[in-house]
Structure 1
Amino acid sequence: MSAVMITRKVRKWEKLPGKNTFCCDGRVMMARQKGVFYLTLFLIIGTCSLFFAFECPYLAVHLSPAIPVFAVLLFLFVMAMLLRTSFSDPGVLPRALPEEATFIEMEIEAANGNVPAGQRPPPRIRNVQINNQIVKLKYCYTCKIFRPPRASHCSICDNCVDRFDHHCPWVGNCVGKRNYRYFYLFTLSLSLLTIYIFTFDIVHVVMRKYQTHRCIVWPASPETGFTVLEVLVCFFTLWSVVGLTGFHTYLISLNQTTNEDIKGSWSGKNRVQNPYSHKNIIKNCCEVLCGPTYPSVLDRRGLMQDISPVSATSATLSSSSSVNPVPQTTKTTAPLIPNEHTPDDAKPNIAASVQASPSPKEEHPSASKLPPLASPETDVETSIAKDKTH
């Protein structure tokens, strides 16, 4: 059975390897594990909704109408930075094509030479010099490439990410070169929003309990339970979010990533200096937060040709059945010409079928024009009549 190759055009994101999910025709790129990301949305939207519904109306009337306005702006900024971090390409590096991978393997084998049996081959490492500092480029056995400086392979998304910081389940994506600044702005604005809501929740409780010029105990109501719930959520969120923001502020001031800090790349026994640091906090912050926005190298929405094999027999049968349907035929149990093996009850039926079928002479168009032939009885009568006359 032969196969027919059918070519069709598809988007490149449909054929990208790895463990990412795509939405909106490749415009949205996230990790497959998004359960914690939905929890983040629920906590932020739920807490802010309770604050807008119960605290803001009272504070706008008794304190200032600018309080809910500023809270809405801060909430919108937090959501924009969260979605920008979660839905963008963090800096995924494309994998090597089969031809490129074969060429790299040949170069590695030529450089290493023949390795004796039983010995482990040397590690696949290339040395480059950055700011008078030797940096090692490691080979990725999954992507078949030598990773650029500061890149690492994410085991969750199964992709190499440029300037890999960490994989954050709270945003449902990796944090890398293309979305790190948005992640930092998200944590910073979320810290401010949490402090803002927590502060005005306490103010609301105090103002409702002690009214102006008189001391009136605040009666128990459903609003009390929601306010206490907001205070608890903000209290436990405050420590983690503010602590995370402070930690990344420290990393930005050193121009360092979380992955490098955990591995101790620039603070190990050798005391190797960070070649990416400018030895100035302001310059490091400007490079990380105000540097150029790098385009994605994946070209997710580009077109490519997808070649899929299809069996030729099925393709021929489907095309013939759709164009020229095959008529159904019936099988006869008796042969067309009777012989000694033909049963007697089948012979009359065959004879009847032969008599019923038109002969070739009757079907010939010139047969109707010929005169009828005279029978032998008619010839005898005409001869007797001639003898009487004579």
Structure 2
Amino acid sequence: MSAVMITRKVRKWEKLPGKNTFCCDGRVMMARQKGVFYLTLFLIIGTCSLFFAFECPYLAVHLSPAIPVFAALLFLFVMAMLLRTSFSDPGVLPRALPEEATFIEMEIEAANGNVPAGQRPPPRIRNVQINNQIVKLKYCYTCKIFRPPRASHCSICDNCVDRFDHHCPWVGNCVGKRNYRYFYLFTLSLSLLTIYIFTFDIVHVVMREYPVSHLCSQKEQTGFTVLEVLVCFFTLWSVVGLTGFHTYLISLNQTTNEDIKGSWSGKNRVQNPYSHKNIIKNCCEVLCGPTYPSVLDRRGLMQDDSLVSATCAAPSSSSSSNATPQTTKTTAPLIPNEHTPDDAKPSIAASAEKSPSPKEELPPALKLPPLASPETDAETSIAKDKTH
């Protein structure tokens, strides 16, 4: 048995650390815990399916045909924003390479000095100035980097996320710098869709109670409507409340993580350096700013070296007799150092004297013959007489 090193090219997403799952050759990136995300899909698709199947035909005939059309457009927009939030990179920061981590550790040790045994080392932070205000950058012991401003490490996905807002199990992903606007548009459009369905469900029930024309019986048509009203009623409070909370955060240019920790409203009363002191400017920066590219390069190629065990067949006798035996000789260093034993130093010096350098080696034509024995002297003299 022998091990063979095989080098093959793989996508970078196959070797990325963290607790994320990838689909479609790295194009889709989500968290591993996706059970609540499937529940979100079931509630949205199920409620809208009941609305299109039982309420829309009646309302389109007796009220307006634009009701199902607007509901379909709103439903498609909600699904697009949900999938865009769930399947995208929220702004995961790559971890430091081993060489970079070693360099950062050396810098930290040089800055902090030697810490006596039994004492806690000082916190690993760096200070940067943003809008004439000092902001502390914290060191991540998992990713081996100093996190950028407003970044935080998600314990569920096990990654540092730039402008980390929170981890949302309802969308099955973190909410960060690259997908926050889509998350907000998802909550806003879902609130409008929930209010829309809830309103026309009530209208449908009222119109059934006071019918204009006798088309269908009341029991067959209002059973699923009552179920939709109950689902929308309990969903309305949480979704609309979440949308209002994030509208408040956007107006102040804050994140959920900063609001929970009280970063800009604690005892020190430190002002938010990222706020423009203007609601319109803050909303434009968060919702209309540039779309930042991903720094992971998930679909890029990299070389992967892996060991594969292989069985080597024993050589035959004929081939072994013709093959030149290979010997491995271990030579000691020519220059003895302080770690060399005393009894080994003379042999090292002797080996240095016996082995000439490549520069002093004579060419084959000028090499001296080996010392001759008496038998070889006689043979050489007889050969010379024959030639003469």
- Distance in 2 separating the partners of 1:5 and 1:181: 46
Question: Are the counterparts in 1 of residues 334 and 349 from structure 2 also a CA contact under 8 Å?
Answer: no
Q: Which moved more, 1:55-64 or 1:305-314?
A: 305-314
User: Deviations for 1:50-75, whole angstroms, at most 9, x for unmatched residues?
Assistant: 00000000000000000000000000
Shift of 1:3: 2.8
TM-score normalised by L of structure 1: 0.78
2:39 alignment partner in structure 1: 39
- Distance in 2 separating the partners of 1:191 and 1:200: 14
Question: Are the counterparts in 2 of residues 361 and 367 from structure 1 also a CA contact under 8 Å?
Answer: no
Q: Percent identity?
A: 94
- Distance in 1 separating the partners of 2:125 and 2:384: 129
Question: Are the counterparts in 1 of residues 50 and 228 from structure 2 also a CA contact under 8 Å?
Answer: yes
- Distance in 2 separating the partners of 1:144 and 1:256: 26
User: Deviations for 1:39-59, whole angstroms, at most 9, x for unmatched residues?
Assistant: 000000000000000000000
Q: 1:281 to 1:5 in 2, by over 3 A?
A: same
Q: 1:315 to 1:42 in 2, by over 3 A?
A: farther
Structure 2 gap segments, 5+ residues each: 211-218
1:330 alignment partner in structure 2: 328
Q: 1:203 to 1:115 in 2, by over 3 A?
A: same
1:102 alignment partner in structure 2: 102
Question: Are the counterparts in 2 of residues 85 and 171 from structure 1 also a CA contact under 8 Å?
Answer: yes
What is the count of residue pairs matched by the alignment? 380
- Distance in 2 separating the partners of 1:195 and 1:345: 92
Question: Are the counterparts in 1 of residues 334 and 351 from structure 2 also a CA contact under 8 Å?
Answer: no
1:312 alignment partner in structure 2: 310
- Distance in 2 separating the partners of 1:281 and 1:106: 44
- Distance in 2 separating the partners of 1:98 and 1:268: 37
Shift of 1:310: 1.9
* Bigger Rg, structure 1 or 2: 1
Shift of 1:334: 52
User: Deviations for 1:201-247, whole angstroms, at most 9, x for unmatched residues?
Assistant: 0000111110xxxxxxxxxx233221000000000000000000000
Shift of 1:130: 0.3
Q: 1:143 to 1:319 in 2, by over 3 A?
A: farther
| Equivalent position SS for 1:317 | coil
Matches within 5 A, 1:254-293: 254-293=252-291
Question: Are the counterparts in 1 of residues 5 and 305 from structure 2 also a CA contact under 8 Å?
Answer: yes
Q: 1:206 to 1:134 in 2, by over 3 A?
A: same
Shift of 1:291: 0.1
Q: 1:113 to 1:82 in 2, by over 3 A?
A: same
Q: 1:58 to 1:172 in 2, by over 3 A?
A: same
Structure 1 gap segments, 5+ residues each: 211-220
Q: Does 1:373 align with 2:371?
A: yes
Shift of 1:90: 0.1
Shift of 1:313: 3.7
Q: Which moved more, 1:267-276 or 1:350-359?
A: 350-359
RMSD: 15.0
Q: 1:131 to 1:322 in 2, by over 3 A?
A: farther
1:143 alignment partner in structure 2: 143
User: Deviations for 1:103-140, whole angstroms, at most 9, x for unmatched residues?
Assistant: 00000011111111111111100000000010000000
